Amino acid sequence: MPHGTVPCVATSKIVIPELRKPVKASIVAELKGLQIGNSWDLWLFPRLVTSDAGKGVAATPGVLKKLRDHYPGLVAAEDSSAGADVLLSDRFGAAELAALNQGKRVISLGARGSVPGYVLGWWGKSAQTGTGISNRHPAFSGFPADNYLTPVFHRILGRAEKLGGGRFKSCEPLMVTVGSSGYLAHVLQVRSGRGRLLLTGLDLLSDNPEAIWLLDSFIRYAASEQFQPGAELDKEQLREFEQMLANFNGVGRVLKASEQRPYRSPTGEWPMHIARATDGQSEVAWETKPVPGDLKPASRFTFTWLAGTGYISAAPGGFTLFLGEKQLLQFEVTRQPKRWASADGLVELDYAATDQTETDLDSAGLMKLTVPAAWLTPGKPASLRVVGEKAGTLRWFGLYETE
């Protein structure tokens, strides 16, 4: 046999018996008499029974469309006559808070934070340095989870909510990651008066069997009397956080970015869209939120967004800011607060830079762009773009996506 070939020497047929609950199993293979072997973990899930599943649960439109086949008993969240006690939503905002105020139980799949992933860092402290799971908590009932991160979570490990400095100062975390951004909750629960909230950033709307089963566990838990969060929602902190984000009128939708990664900011970790001053082609393009419909053409208007600049130790290189195809001004990387203005004085860009980032080479903070209102269309979003110059450097501009 030629050296280096890997032939098939045998096949095995494995019959999985009918399961009533998920199980963690192992496949073990060995070459008898040679003391050579290996084993592989795997997780097996039974098919979900859908007879009357979803009864008493209302869902927002996107969730309803995705889960209707699994849960024929689901009703639309807008159907106030349905009498559902549980709301299943893909976000956590005003509608979900109103449901809590009505004493309802809310399952939100709308954690807003970063995606720490499951790969540990190798250079300093990364976004993922360890995850703890309350695997015996009734919310995870029947799910084959250990109290640490195992591969059963790898395909569903999505966003995580910042603890302490984010929307939830007081909460009961059930699944927590620690890393460069501090403590992040993948699953948390909190009460608000008679209302109760279970919030997660896990990707539970996929067709992966682990996602289907865990979402069903959360639904059954939320509908049970075991759903008794021990922490009270800090509505004042939540209101301040939402007001802060509402003031970021400069980003509505990101259209294009040369790079994207989660990155720390003074308000927590958010996805960042990056342009570098490398080849003159690297850019970030986005739409703002719609400007007011009663905008006066003779006035000036200010857009605000969260931004960063970085790699100040690299060779110099700057950036150009565009409104549509109109070149507004040029700016560069800075670690100090700075103001740039166009040559005609019609455009100003203020950057309230701080050093609350991951390295001492970068900055983050509010950017405020002020332009003549006559350049904007009332009631419509504006198109902004930052392009890195052709400088062959890794210096970067980053736009945080806070929605």
Q: pLDDT tens per residue, the chain (403 residues)?
A: 688 888 887 788 888 888 988 999 999 988 888 889 999 999 999 987 765 667 889 999 999 999 988 888 888 888 766 678 999 999 888 888 889 989 999 999 988 777 888 988 777 777 889 999 999 999 998 899 999 999 999 999 988 988 876 788 889 999 999 987 788 999 999 999 899 999 999 999 999 999 999 999 999 999 999 999 999 988 887 777 777 677 789 999 999 999 998 787 766 677 899 999 999 999 999 999 999 999 999 999 999 999 999 999 999 999 999 999 999 999 999 988 999 999 999 999 999 987 655 567 899 888 999 999 999 999 999 999 999 999 999 999 999 987 6
Instruction: Indicate left, alpha or beta for 205 from its phi (over 0: left) and psi (-120 to 50: alpha).
Output: alpha
Domains belonging to the chain, first-starting first, are 57-240 (3.40.50), 247-400 (2.60.120)
pTM comes to: 0.73
In this structure, what token pair is assigned to residue 383? 């198109």
Q: Within 10 Å of residue 397's Cβ, how many Cβ atoms?
A: 27
**Between β-strands 383-388 and 259-265, what pairing exists: parallel, antiparallel or unpaired?**
unpaired
In this structure, what token pair is assigned to residue 104? 């309802």
CA distances 163 to 47, 167, 172, Å, are 35, 8, 10
Residues 164, 141, 24: CA angle, nearest 5 degrees:
105
Using a 10 angstrom Cβ sphere, with 0-12 exposed, 13-18 middle and 19 or more buried, the burial of residue 1 is exposed
Beta-bridge partner residues of 232: 191
The whole-number pLDDT of residue 180 equals 77
Residue 211 belongs to what H/E stretch?
A: helix 209-222
